[in-house]
Amino acid sequence: MPHLSKAVVCLVLAMGGPALAQTSATQSTSVTTKIVQPITLSKGSDLAMGSIVKPTSGSNTVSIDAASGVRALSGAGDAALAASTTSRAAYTVGGEGAQTFSITAPGSVNLTRSGGSEVLSVTLAKTASSGTLSGSLGSAGTATFGVGGSFAVTNTTVSGSYSGTFDVTAAYN
């Protein structure tokens, strides 16, 4: 029997002791980063709608194409485009080659008549080198885009010089 009691003691000791739970765990984690050139935005030209002879009746829309900078006149009025300097707003984005970017600009801008309170609302149109509101800086790290616009002119539009400003932002995606 003494041999049996040794087995019982070993069994009791094995079963009666506390079970040890895991109190900590370790996991290896990697860290990555990418450093890129700062993005830049430079303006090559302002949006210049030019001089317009207002219609005697009806309404016309004056527009500057965002991609080409071509000025056009449409509508049922008899307005005319006077010889003057016109241009789309043109920009160059610079930065890290092959990175994508997005363009942010307002949908419209109000122009106020110099010396008065009259306002013309110009609807803005944007384009990028890819034809959308975003683009890629390509291997050279540059891309261009333009902003054009349009507005209505009627025989009741007050004569004078109108001006306004808007902000354009380019940011990495």
Note whether residue 6 is domain-resident: no
Note whether residue 51 is domain-resident: yes
pLDDT on residue 132 = 45
pLDDT on residue 126 = 87
Note whether residue 27 is domain-resident: no
**Structural domain range at position 109:** 37-172
Note whether residue 84 is domain-resident: yes
pLDDT on residue 48 = 98
As a whole number of Å, the end-to-end CA separation of the chain is: 82
With b for 16 or more beta-carbon neighbours within 10 A and e for fewer, the 154-169 pattern comes to eeebeeeebeeebebe
CATH number, domain with residue 106: 2.60.40
pLDDT on residue 136 = 85
Note whether residue 14 is domain-resident: no
Note whether residue 82 is domain-resident: yes
pLDDT tens per residue across all 173 residues of the chain: 555 556 555 555 555 556 678 899 999 999 999 999 999 999 999 999 999 999 999 999 999 999 999 999 999 999 999 999 999 999 999 999 999 999 889 999 999 999 999 999 999 998 855 444 677 898 889 999 999 999 999 999 999 999 999 999 999 99
Count of domains observed in the chain: 1
pLDDT on residue 19 = 62
Determine which helix (DSSP H) or strand (DSSP E) holds 5, and give its type and residue range.
Answer: helix 2-16
Which residues, 6 or more positions from 172, have their beta carbon under 8 angstroms from its beta carbon? 36, 39, 95, 96, 99, 100, 101
